[in-house]
Amino acid sequence: MVGTLFDNPIFLGGLFLLARTWSIWLPVALFFIFWSTWTGYVRSYFMARTKWVLLEIKVPREQTKSPKAMESILAGINGTNRLGNMRERYWNGWLTPWFSLEITGDATGVHFYVRTTEFLKRMIESQIYAQYPACEIKVVEDYTKATPPVMPTVGWTIWGSEYIHTKPDAYPIRTYEDFELVGISSKEEDTKIDPLSSLIEFFGTFKASERMWLQMIVRPAGENWIKEGQTIVDKLGGKKTEGHKPLLGKVVGVIDDIIGGVAGSAPPEKNQKRESLNVGFFGLSPGMIQSIKALELNMQKIGFEVGIRWTYLAKNEDYNALAIPAINGIFKQFASPNLNGFKLNKKVTTSIDYIFRKTRLTYRQKRIYNAYRWRSFFHPPYRGKTIVLSSSELATIYHFPGMVVGAPAMERIDAKRGAPPTNLPI
């Protein structure tokens, strides 16, 4: 086989060409290797120096704010979208800040957390207090440290996955506005339907060693998802978009013109275009009209790049396999037939079929557990497939429920904090 390969003149010619031109391609290859290694090093160093804090948020029982308040918080947090200059990115390893929105359920009840850098802590707190002035925010110990440091381990069972979209990101999911009762003012708290009601009720049912963790790693998104959405809107509306014509198509077009000229047929005038009747919404089905309106409304919102991950773990004697279809069913309520929804990322799910099942299952369980504890999604060691959610979509799946959610396991503040008397000595 080797002799046959070296007898091939094409192979030998390629080796000879590489040997003669090494002074050209080798420096380029070494530069790319160096650049990749350097950027990885400075970014790892930057992340290693970054200090993180975990904030737990508790709201009073009489809290009457809708998810709109959380949307305002997210709009304020979007101001952290700073790319940094060249020196900061490639010498200091600067990375655009990200934070983690987390909901957990265990034997102690349901808890809401925000994990952020120590540098952004005061900004996050001020944004939350601005909308929920009576809430309580405190720095707490990482709850993941109360479980074994390594998974899978003897005596424990773990199941987890990540959620991705069923359609392109520009298509919206069912948001909190869609859950409000038709004809009822959103100010009437007792008549609203909270989209997190079923999730909180479910998270409040865990006993003994059972734990359900839901995590949303978030950072501001760019403009690509809006451009993608505009392309979809144009396509649904029947508007023709002219893309870049491939080189082969151009060559065929030139040949076709030459043949037409030889045959005596005159080529069409360049400025002669087929006119199309702009009928707007006429001729479109009601479903398509609804989709276009929803897409355009969603694209007017602030966008966030999001990685959604969840994990259910418990000791073997407490493990309940029904928790998996239950959490999937809860996320089904955010789906809309004509728009978007959530589905499991099968490449991450801790469910294995066919060959090497035990080895592959162990790897996936270890990956999902470590990735959750390290809050790793955008950067190594654990990258995930992200989606883009608008501020209203993100506020739908993460907000602080009001009085409409009466789950007894929902930990709240018993009373509002009163303002101090104005005549207190300073």
- Is residue 375 within 8 A of residue 219, CB to CB? The reply is no
Average pLDDT, the chain: 82
Q: Average the pLDDT over each of 161-170, 374-383, 390-399, 407-416 and give the range with the smallest value.
A: 407-416
Q: What percent of the chain has pLDDT over 90?
A: 45
Q: Average the pLDDT over each of 13-22, 24-33, 206-215, 228-237 and give the range with the smallest value.
A: 13-22
**Residue 61: how many other CB atoms lie within 10 Å:** 13
Q: Which amino acid is at 6?
A: F
- The Cα 275–Cα 266 span in angstroms is 21
Q: Where are the domains of the chain?
A: 52-230+285-397
pLDDT tens digit sequence for 130-176: 999 989 999 999 999 999 999 999 999 999 999 999 999 999 999 98
Position 278 confidence tier, pLDDT thresholds 50, 70, 90? very low
Position 284 confidence tier, pLDDT thresholds 50, 70, 90? confident
pLDDT of residue 412: 60
- The Cα 234–Cα 228 span in angstroms is 10
pLDDT of residue 86: 83
Position 411 confidence tier, pLDDT thresholds 50, 70, 90? low
Residue range 72-85: mean pLDDT, rounded: 82
pLDDT tens digit sequence for 80-94: 777 777 888 888 888
Query: Both tokens of residue 251?
Result: 């060559």
- Is residue 26 within 8 A of residue 380, CB to CB? The reply is no
Residue 420 has pLDDT above 80, yes or no: no
Residue 240 has pLDDT above 90, yes or no: no
- Is residue 380 within 8 A of residue 25, CB to CB? The reply is no
Please, which residues have CB within 8 angstroms of residue 220's CB and are 6 or more apart in sequence? 78, 80, 81, 96, 302, 303, 304, 305
- The Cα 137–Cα 108 span in angstroms is 18
pLDDT tens digit sequence for 248-276: 555 445 455 555 554 454 445 444 444 44
Residue 48 has pLDDT above 50, yes or no: yes
Residue range 311-333: mean pLDDT, rounded: 94
